[in-house]
Amino acid sequence: MKKLLLLLTITSLYGTSFGQNINDNKVSFSYTQLPYYKIDNAFSNYDIKVEHGYIKANADSLAAHEANKSIAMSQFESAMRLYQDSKDSVDRIYLTAMAKWEKDVNAGVTATNGLALAQPSKPIYLPFPTFPSLKQPRLHSSYDDNNVINAIDIQGYSKGMGGFVVTVNLLAIQDIVIHESKKGSGTTTKYTYNASYRMPIEVTVESPTQGKIMYLRIIEGIKTFKVGEYKSKYDYQLYMLLNKDQFRNNIELAARKKAIVETNAYLNDQIGFMNKTRTVELYSVKKFKNYDYSDVAQAYMTSVAALQIVGSDRDHDSAIDKIDEALAQWAEIMIESNTFDGKARINDKITGMIQVNMAELMLWKADFANSELNTTLAINGGGKFKRHASGQKSFYADKKKRWNGHY
Protein backbone atom coordinates (compact mmCIF):
# COMPACT_ATOMS: atom_id res chain seq x y z
CA MET A 1 0.00 0.00 0.00
CA LYS A 2 2.86 2.38 0.90
CA LYS A 3 4.55 1.61 -2.43
CA LEU A 4 1.30 2.41 -4.26
CA LEU A 5 0.94 5.78 -2.47
CA LEU A 6 4.60 6.59 -3.18
CA LEU A 7 4.11 5.73 -6.87
CA LEU A 8 0.99 7.93 -7.10
CA THR A 9 2.83 10.84 -5.42
CA ILE A 10 5.81 10.55 -7.77
CA THR A 11 3.48 10.35 -10.79
CA SER A 12 1.60 13.44 -9.62
CA LEU A 13 4.79 15.43 -9.14
CA TYR A 14 6.14 14.25 -12.47
CA GLY A 15 2.92 15.34 -14.25
CA THR A 16 2.98 18.72 -12.52
CA SER A 17 6.56 19.39 -13.55
CA PHE A 18 5.46 19.23 -17.19
CA GLY A 19 2.01 20.82 -16.78
CA GLN A 20 2.48 24.25 -18.30
CA ASN A 21 0.14 26.79 -16.78
CA ILE A 22 -1.72 29.11 -19.12
CA ASN A 23 -2.24 32.80 -18.45
CA ASP A 24 -5.77 33.83 -19.41
CA ASN A 25 -5.56 37.51 -20.31
CA LYS A 26 -8.61 39.62 -21.12
CA VAL A 27 -7.63 42.07 -23.84
CA SER A 28 -9.96 44.92 -24.81
CA PHE A 29 -9.63 46.97 -27.97
CA SER A 30 -11.79 49.19 -30.14
CA TYR A 31 -12.82 48.61 -33.74
CA THR A 32 -15.37 49.81 -36.28
CA GLN A 33 -18.16 47.33 -36.94
CA LEU A 34 -18.97 47.33 -40.64
CA PRO A 35 -22.66 47.35 -41.60
CA TYR A 36 -24.41 44.53 -43.46
CA TYR A 37 -25.71 46.89 -46.13
CA LYS A 38 -23.18 48.93 -48.12
CA ILE A 39 -24.30 52.43 -49.00
CA ASP A 40 -22.60 54.21 -51.88
CA ASN A 41 -19.40 55.85 -50.60
CA ALA A 42 -20.47 59.05 -52.36
CA PHE A 43 -22.91 59.74 -49.54
CA SER A 44 -21.90 60.87 -46.07
CA ASN A 45 -25.25 62.45 -45.14
CA TYR A 46 -28.68 61.01 -44.47
CA ASP A 47 -32.14 62.45 -44.05
CA ILE A 48 -34.89 61.06 -41.81
CA LYS A 49 -38.48 60.98 -43.01
CA VAL A 50 -41.31 59.96 -40.72
CA GLU A 51 -44.53 58.33 -41.81
CA HIS A 52 -47.51 57.80 -39.55
CA GLY A 53 -48.96 54.42 -40.41
CA TYR A 54 -51.23 54.59 -37.37
CA ILE A 55 -53.22 57.33 -39.18
CA LYS A 56 -54.40 54.71 -41.65
CA ALA A 57 -55.28 52.47 -38.70
CA ASN A 58 -57.35 55.36 -37.32
CA ALA A 59 -59.07 55.83 -40.69
CA ASP A 60 -59.76 52.09 -40.88
CA SER A 61 -61.22 52.15 -37.35
CA LEU A 62 -63.49 55.11 -38.21
CA ALA A 63 -64.58 53.45 -41.45
CA ALA A 64 -65.34 50.22 -39.59
CA HIS A 65 -67.22 52.23 -36.96
CA GLU A 66 -69.34 53.91 -39.62
CA ALA A 67 -70.01 50.56 -41.27
CA ASN A 68 -71.00 49.07 -37.92
CA LYS A 69 -73.28 52.05 -37.28
CA SER A 70 -74.94 51.56 -40.65
CA ILE A 71 -75.42 47.85 -40.00
CA ALA A 72 -76.71 48.50 -36.48
CA MET A 73 -79.17 51.14 -37.73
CA SER A 74 -80.35 48.83 -40.50
CA GLN A 75 -80.88 46.06 -37.94
CA PHE A 76 -82.69 48.52 -35.63
CA GLU A 77 -85.00 49.69 -38.41
CA SER A 78 -85.77 46.07 -39.32
CA ALA A 79 -86.47 45.29 -35.65
CA MET A 80 -88.74 48.36 -35.45
CA ARG A 81 -90.73 47.19 -38.46
CA LEU A 82 -91.06 43.74 -36.93
CA TYR A 83 -92.06 45.29 -33.61
CA GLN A 84 -94.64 47.56 -35.22
CA ASP A 85 -96.11 44.73 -37.31
CA SER A 86 -96.31 42.55 -34.21
CA LYS A 87 -97.86 45.40 -32.17
CA ASP A 88 -100.44 46.10 -34.88
CA SER A 89 -101.35 42.39 -34.99
CA VAL A 90 -101.67 42.21 -31.19
CA ASP A 91 -103.69 45.46 -31.12
CA ARG A 92 -106.03 44.17 -33.84
CA ILE A 93 -106.75 41.04 -31.86
CA TYR A 94 -107.19 43.05 -28.66
CA LEU A 95 -109.46 45.71 -30.19
CA THR A 96 -111.58 43.05 -31.89
CA ALA A 97 -112.02 41.33 -28.53
CA MET A 98 -112.79 44.64 -26.78
CA ALA A 99 -115.44 45.54 -29.42
CA LYS A 100 -117.22 42.22 -28.93
CA TRP A 101 -116.98 42.55 -25.14
CA GLU A 102 -118.44 46.11 -25.19
CA LYS A 103 -121.32 45.12 -27.50
CA ASP A 104 -122.12 42.10 -25.31
CA VAL A 105 -122.09 44.21 -22.17
CA ASN A 106 -124.35 46.80 -23.80
CA ALA A 107 -126.72 43.99 -24.82
CA GLY A 108 -126.90 42.78 -21.20
CA VAL A 109 -124.98 39.58 -21.79
CA THR A 110 -123.50 38.15 -18.58
CA ALA A 111 -121.13 35.34 -17.74
CA THR A 112 -122.52 31.83 -17.21
CA ASN A 113 -122.38 32.39 -13.46
CA GLY A 114 -124.46 35.52 -13.80
CA LEU A 115 -121.62 37.92 -13.12
CA ALA A 116 -120.50 40.68 -15.46
CA LEU A 117 -118.48 39.67 -18.46
CA ALA A 118 -114.69 39.82 -17.83
CA GLN A 119 -112.88 42.44 -19.84
CA PRO A 120 -110.20 41.05 -22.25
CA SER A 121 -106.62 41.20 -20.89
CA LYS A 122 -104.34 44.07 -21.85
CA PRO A 123 -102.14 43.20 -24.84
CA ILE A 124 -98.53 41.99 -24.33
CA TYR A 125 -96.05 43.34 -26.85
CA LEU A 126 -92.62 42.23 -27.98
CA PRO A 127 -89.76 44.13 -26.24
CA PHE A 128 -89.22 47.53 -27.78
CA PRO A 129 -86.02 47.49 -29.89
CA THR A 130 -82.99 49.15 -28.32
CA PHE A 131 -81.64 52.06 -30.27
CA PRO A 132 -78.03 51.29 -31.26
CA SER A 133 -75.40 52.98 -29.13
CA LEU A 134 -71.88 52.28 -30.43
CA LYS A 135 -68.88 53.68 -28.62
CA GLN A 136 -66.54 55.81 -30.66
CA PRO A 137 -63.37 53.85 -31.50
CA ARG A 138 -60.28 54.79 -29.53
CA LEU A 139 -57.92 56.38 -32.01
CA HIS A 140 -54.12 56.25 -31.82
CA SER A 141 -52.60 59.49 -30.62
CA SER A 142 -50.40 61.60 -32.85
CA TYR A 143 -46.62 61.57 -32.49
CA ASP A 144 -44.23 64.41 -33.25
CA ASP A 145 -41.77 63.76 -36.10
CA ASN A 146 -38.98 65.40 -34.10
CA ASN A 147 -39.21 62.66 -31.46
CA VAL A 148 -38.13 60.22 -34.16
CA ILE A 149 -35.65 62.44 -35.98
CA ASN A 150 -33.82 63.35 -32.77
CA ALA A 151 -33.65 59.72 -31.63
CA ILE A 152 -32.11 58.34 -34.84
CA ASP A 153 -28.32 58.77 -34.97
CA ILE A 154 -26.57 56.57 -37.52
CA GLN A 155 -22.88 56.29 -36.67
CA GLY A 156 -20.45 57.03 -39.47
CA TYR A 157 -22.79 59.53 -41.12
CA SER A 158 -24.12 63.03 -40.51
CA LYS A 159 -27.69 64.24 -40.74
CA GLY A 160 -28.23 66.46 -43.74
CA MET A 161 -29.83 66.77 -47.12
CA GLY A 162 -28.42 65.35 -50.31
CA GLY A 163 -27.53 61.90 -49.02
CA PHE A 164 -29.48 58.71 -48.56
CA VAL A 165 -32.94 58.71 -47.00
CA VAL A 166 -34.16 56.68 -44.05
CA THR A 167 -37.92 56.45 -43.73
CA VAL A 168 -39.41 55.35 -40.42
CA ASN A 169 -43.07 54.38 -40.53
CA LEU A 170 -44.81 54.40 -37.14
CA LEU A 171 -47.44 51.68 -37.11
CA ALA A 172 -50.26 51.15 -34.65
CA ILE A 173 -49.85 49.35 -31.34
CA GLN A 174 -51.39 45.88 -31.57
CA ASP A 175 -52.59 42.92 -29.52
CA ILE A 176 -52.66 44.52 -26.06
CA VAL A 177 -53.34 41.83 -23.44
CA ILE A 178 -53.28 42.31 -19.65
CA HIS A 179 -51.66 39.54 -17.57
CA GLU A 180 -52.21 39.13 -13.83
CA SER A 181 -49.85 37.44 -11.38
CA LYS A 182 -50.29 36.99 -7.65
CA LYS A 183 -47.66 36.63 -4.95
CA GLY A 184 -47.81 36.26 -1.21
CA SER A 185 -50.80 35.66 1.05
CA GLY A 186 -52.74 37.48 3.70
CA THR A 187 -51.49 41.04 4.23
CA THR A 188 -48.50 40.40 1.96
CA THR A 189 -50.69 39.58 -1.04
CA LYS A 190 -49.64 41.50 -4.12
CA TYR A 191 -51.17 41.53 -7.59
CA THR A 192 -48.92 42.52 -10.46
CA TYR A 193 -50.30 43.50 -13.84
CA ASN A 194 -48.30 43.58 -17.04
CA ALA A 195 -49.51 44.31 -20.54
CA SER A 196 -48.08 42.46 -23.53
CA TYR A 197 -48.26 44.17 -26.89
CA ARG A 198 -46.66 44.46 -30.31
CA MET A 199 -45.40 47.73 -31.80
CA PRO A 200 -43.84 47.04 -35.21
CA ILE A 201 -41.95 49.68 -37.20
CA GLU A 202 -41.31 49.78 -40.92
CA VAL A 203 -37.93 51.08 -42.10
CA THR A 204 -36.88 51.93 -45.63
CA VAL A 205 -33.40 53.00 -46.77
CA GLU A 206 -32.93 54.51 -50.23
CA SER A 207 -30.02 56.19 -51.95
CA PRO A 208 -30.04 58.31 -55.11
CA THR A 209 -27.69 55.87 -56.87
CA GLN A 210 -28.80 52.52 -55.47
CA GLY A 211 -32.52 52.97 -55.12
CA LYS A 212 -34.23 51.02 -52.34
CA ILE A 213 -31.53 49.32 -50.28
CA MET A 214 -33.70 48.08 -47.43
CA TYR A 215 -37.40 47.71 -46.71
CA LEU A 216 -38.29 45.75 -43.60
CA ARG A 217 -40.86 45.54 -40.87
CA ILE A 218 -38.96 45.20 -37.60
CA ILE A 219 -39.64 44.82 -33.87
CA GLU A 220 -42.56 42.48 -34.47
CA GLY A 221 -42.05 40.46 -31.30
CA ILE A 222 -44.12 40.69 -28.13
CA LYS A 223 -43.06 43.40 -25.67
CA THR A 224 -44.07 44.02 -22.06
CA PHE A 225 -45.33 47.13 -20.28
CA LYS A 226 -45.72 47.20 -16.49
CA VAL A 227 -49.17 48.45 -15.53
CA GLY A 228 -48.76 48.41 -11.75
CA GLU A 229 -48.84 46.52 -8.46
CA TYR A 230 -51.87 46.41 -6.15
CA LYS A 231 -52.80 44.87 -2.81
CA SER A 232 -56.22 44.02 -4.20
CA LYS A 233 -57.28 43.08 -7.70
CA TYR A 234 -60.26 45.36 -7.25
CA ASP A 235 -57.91 48.31 -6.84
CA TYR A 236 -56.61 47.47 -10.31
CA GLN A 237 -60.14 47.18 -11.70
CA LEU A 238 -61.02 50.54 -10.15
CA TYR A 239 -57.88 52.09 -11.66
CA MET A 240 -58.78 50.77 -15.12
CA LEU A 241 -62.36 51.97 -14.74
CA LEU A 242 -61.25 55.51 -13.97
CA ASN A 243 -58.08 55.65 -16.09
CA LYS A 244 -58.72 53.52 -19.16
CA ASP A 245 -57.85 56.29 -21.61
CA GLN A 246 -54.81 57.34 -19.60
CA PHE A 247 -53.57 53.75 -19.53
CA ARG A 248 -53.87 53.51 -23.31
CA ASN A 249 -51.98 56.77 -23.72
CA ASN A 250 -49.25 55.61 -21.32
CA ILE A 251 -48.66 52.25 -22.97
CA GLU A 252 -48.75 53.73 -26.46
CA LEU A 253 -46.24 56.46 -25.59
CA ALA A 254 -43.89 54.05 -23.80
CA ALA A 255 -44.15 51.51 -26.62
CA ARG A 256 -43.29 54.09 -29.26
CA LYS A 257 -40.29 55.41 -27.34
CA LYS A 258 -38.96 51.89 -26.84
CA ALA A 259 -39.59 50.96 -30.48
CA ILE A 260 -37.73 54.04 -31.74
CA VAL A 261 -34.73 53.28 -29.51
CA GLU A 262 -34.68 49.73 -30.91
CA THR A 263 -35.08 51.09 -34.44
CA ASN A 264 -32.01 53.29 -33.95
CA ALA A 265 -30.01 50.29 -32.71
CA TYR A 266 -31.21 48.19 -35.63
CA LEU A 267 -30.34 50.82 -38.24
CA ASN A 268 -26.88 51.25 -36.75
CA ASP A 269 -26.32 47.51 -36.85
CA GLN A 270 -27.47 47.25 -40.46
CA ILE A 271 -26.13 50.43 -42.13
CA GLY A 272 -24.03 52.29 -39.54
CA PHE A 273 -20.32 52.18 -38.82
CA MET A 274 -20.51 51.52 -35.11
CA ASN A 275 -17.60 52.08 -32.75
CA LYS A 276 -17.34 48.88 -30.74
CA THR A 277 -15.16 47.48 -27.99
CA ARG A 278 -14.17 43.82 -28.12
CA THR A 279 -12.92 41.98 -25.08
CA VAL A 280 -11.32 38.64 -25.86
CA GLU A 281 -9.13 36.09 -24.10
CA LEU A 282 -5.57 36.13 -25.39
CA TYR A 283 -3.30 33.50 -23.92
CA SER A 284 0.31 33.22 -22.83
CA VAL A 285 2.35 30.84 -20.62
CA LYS A 286 3.32 31.46 -17.02
CA LYS A 287 6.98 31.12 -16.04
CA PHE A 288 7.94 27.47 -16.16
CA LYS A 289 11.11 26.08 -14.69
CA ASN A 290 11.58 23.30 -17.23
CA TYR A 291 11.39 25.50 -20.33
CA ASP A 292 11.98 29.05 -21.43
CA TYR A 293 8.83 30.71 -22.79
CA SER A 294 10.22 34.19 -23.37
CA ASP A 295 9.42 33.83 -27.09
CA VAL A 296 5.78 33.09 -26.21
CA ALA A 297 5.67 36.13 -23.95
CA GLN A 298 7.11 38.27 -26.77
CA ALA A 299 4.59 36.95 -29.30
CA TYR A 300 1.79 37.63 -26.82
CA MET A 301 2.96 41.23 -26.27
CA THR A 302 3.22 41.81 -30.02
CA SER A 303 -0.31 40.40 -30.44
CA VAL A 304 -1.71 42.76 -27.81
CA ALA A 305 0.04 45.71 -29.47
CA ALA A 306 -1.39 44.71 -32.85
CA LEU A 307 -4.96 44.44 -31.57
CA GLN A 308 -4.72 47.83 -29.88
CA ILE A 309 -4.41 49.53 -33.27
CA VAL A 310 -7.01 47.63 -35.34
CA GLY A 311 -9.49 50.40 -34.57
CA SER A 312 -7.34 53.07 -36.20
CA ASP A 313 -9.17 52.63 -39.49
CA ARG A 314 -12.17 50.73 -40.79
CA ASP A 315 -10.15 48.21 -42.79
CA HIS A 316 -7.54 47.76 -40.00
CA ASP A 317 -4.82 48.61 -42.51
CA SER A 318 -2.71 50.39 -39.88
CA ALA A 319 -2.50 47.19 -37.85
CA ILE A 320 -1.56 44.77 -40.63
CA ASP A 321 2.23 45.05 -40.22
CA LYS A 322 1.99 44.48 -36.46
CA ILE A 323 -0.42 41.58 -36.94
CA ASP A 324 1.96 39.99 -39.44
CA GLU A 325 4.83 40.45 -36.99
CA ALA A 326 2.88 38.69 -34.24
CA LEU A 327 1.80 35.89 -36.58
CA ALA A 328 5.39 35.36 -37.68
CA GLN A 329 6.47 35.03 -34.05
CA TRP A 330 3.70 32.51 -33.33
CA ALA A 331 4.52 30.59 -36.50
CA GLU A 332 8.17 30.35 -35.46
CA ILE A 333 7.14 28.87 -32.13
CA MET A 334 4.73 26.44 -33.81
CA ILE A 335 7.62 24.81 -35.65
CA GLU A 336 8.27 22.96 -32.36
CA SER A 337 4.65 21.83 -31.99
CA ASN A 338 4.45 18.23 -30.83
CA THR A 339 0.89 17.27 -29.92
CA PHE A 340 1.88 13.64 -29.22
CA ASP A 341 4.28 14.42 -26.37
CA GLY A 342 2.69 16.01 -23.32
CA LYS A 343 6.15 16.84 -21.97
CA ALA A 344 7.19 18.79 -25.07
CA ARG A 345 7.72 22.53 -24.74
CA ILE A 346 5.05 23.16 -27.37
CA ASN A 347 2.73 20.30 -26.50
CA ASP A 348 -0.94 19.88 -27.44
CA LYS A 349 -2.09 22.41 -24.84
CA ILE A 350 0.35 25.13 -25.92
CA THR A 351 -0.41 24.34 -29.56
CA GLY A 352 -4.15 24.86 -28.97
CA MET A 353 -3.38 28.09 -27.14
CA ILE A 354 -1.35 29.43 -30.08
CA GLN A 355 -4.00 28.35 -32.60
CA VAL A 356 -6.74 30.39 -30.93
CA ASN A 357 -4.42 33.38 -30.61
CA MET A 358 -3.53 33.14 -34.29
CA ALA A 359 -7.19 32.71 -35.29
CA GLU A 360 -8.02 36.01 -33.59
CA LEU A 361 -5.14 37.85 -35.26
CA MET A 362 -5.94 36.43 -38.69
CA LEU A 363 -9.53 37.58 -38.33
CA TRP A 364 -8.43 41.21 -38.08
CA LYS A 365 -6.29 41.02 -41.22
CA ALA A 366 -9.26 39.46 -43.05
CA ASP A 367 -7.45 36.15 -43.55
CA PHE A 368 -10.68 34.31 -42.90
CA ALA A 369 -9.61 30.98 -44.43
CA ASN A 370 -6.64 30.58 -42.08
CA SER A 371 -8.60 31.99 -39.14
CA GLU A 372 -11.24 29.31 -39.70
CA LEU A 373 -8.53 26.66 -40.13
CA ASN A 374 -6.90 27.50 -36.80
CA THR A 375 -10.31 27.63 -35.13
CA THR A 376 -11.11 24.17 -36.46
CA LEU A 377 -7.73 22.81 -35.37
CA ALA A 378 -8.26 24.18 -31.86
CA ILE A 379 -11.73 22.63 -31.71
CA ASN A 380 -10.38 19.28 -32.88
CA GLY A 381 -7.67 19.48 -30.22
CA GLY A 382 -10.32 19.44 -27.49
CA GLY A 383 -10.11 20.76 -23.95
CA LYS A 384 -10.12 24.38 -22.91
CA PHE A 385 -9.28 25.78 -26.32
CA LYS A 386 -12.03 23.78 -27.99
CA ARG A 387 -14.48 25.66 -25.77
CA HIS A 388 -12.82 28.99 -26.55
CA ALA A 389 -12.74 28.42 -30.31
CA SER A 390 -16.34 27.17 -30.40
CA GLY A 391 -17.46 30.25 -28.53
CA GLN A 392 -15.86 32.56 -31.11
CA LYS A 393 -17.28 30.97 -34.26
CA SER A 394 -20.45 33.08 -34.46
CA PHE A 395 -18.52 36.34 -34.00
CA TYR A 396 -15.96 35.31 -36.61
CA ALA A 397 -18.69 34.37 -39.10
CA ASP A 398 -20.47 37.68 -38.55
CA LYS A 399 -17.22 39.62 -38.99
CA LYS A 400 -16.53 37.78 -42.26
CA LYS A 401 -20.05 38.45 -43.57
CA ARG A 402 -19.81 42.17 -42.84
CA TRP A 403 -16.28 42.42 -44.31
CA ASN A 404 -17.20 40.63 -47.54
CA GLY A 405 -19.98 43.12 -48.11
CA HIS A 406 -17.46 45.95 -48.33
CA TYR A 407 -14.09 44.59 -49.48
Among candidate residues 113, 116, 248, 104, the one with its CA nearest the CA of residue 176: 248
Digitized pLDDT (tens) for each residue of the chain, 407 residues in all: 444 333 333 333 333 344 568 999 999 999 999 999 999 999 999 999 999 999 999 888 888 888 898 898 899 889 989 999 899 999 899 999 889 898 988 888 888 888 888 998 999 999 999 888 888 888 889 999 999 999 999 999 999 999 999 999 999 999 999 999 999 998 899 999 999 999 999 999 999 999 999 999 999 999 999 999 999 999 999 999 999 999 999 999 999 999 999 999 999 999 999 999 999 999 999 877 789 999 999 999 999 999 999 999 999 999 999 999 999 999 999 999 999 998 999 999 999 999 999 999 999 999 999 999 999 999 999 889 999 999 999 999 999 999 999 99
pLDDT value at residue 199: 96
Instruction: Output the pLDDT for position 8.
Output: 33
What is the per-residue pLDDT for 19?
56
The predicted model scores a pTM of 0.80
Domains of the chain plus CATH, in order, are 18-34+274-404 (no CATH), 45-55+141-271 (3.30.160)
Return the pLDDT at 207: 95
Q: Determine the pLDDT at residue 14.
A: 37
Question: Under 8 Å CB-to-CB from 406, ≥6 apart: which residues?
Answer: 34, 38
Question: For residue 259, is it left (φ>0), alpha (ψ between -120 and 50) or beta?
Answer: alpha
| 117 in Cβ contact with 99 (< 8 Å) | no
One-letter amino acid of 400: K
**Cα–Cα distance measured from residue 216 to residue 153, given in angstroms and rounded to the nearest whole number:** 19
Q: What is the spatial distance between Cα 75 and Cα 130, in angstroms, rounded to a whole number?
A: 10
Give the per-residue pLDDT at 202.
97
8 A C-beta contact, residue 193 and residue 228? yes
Torsion angles phi and psi, residue 202, rounded to 5? -105, 130
Identify the pLDDT of residue 6.
35
pLDDT at 290: 82
Among 238, 198, 191, residue whose Cα is nearest residue 217: 198
CA distance linking residue 172 with residue 101, whole number of Å = 68
Indicate if the alpha-carbon torsion angle 106, 111, 115, 120 is positive or negative.
negative
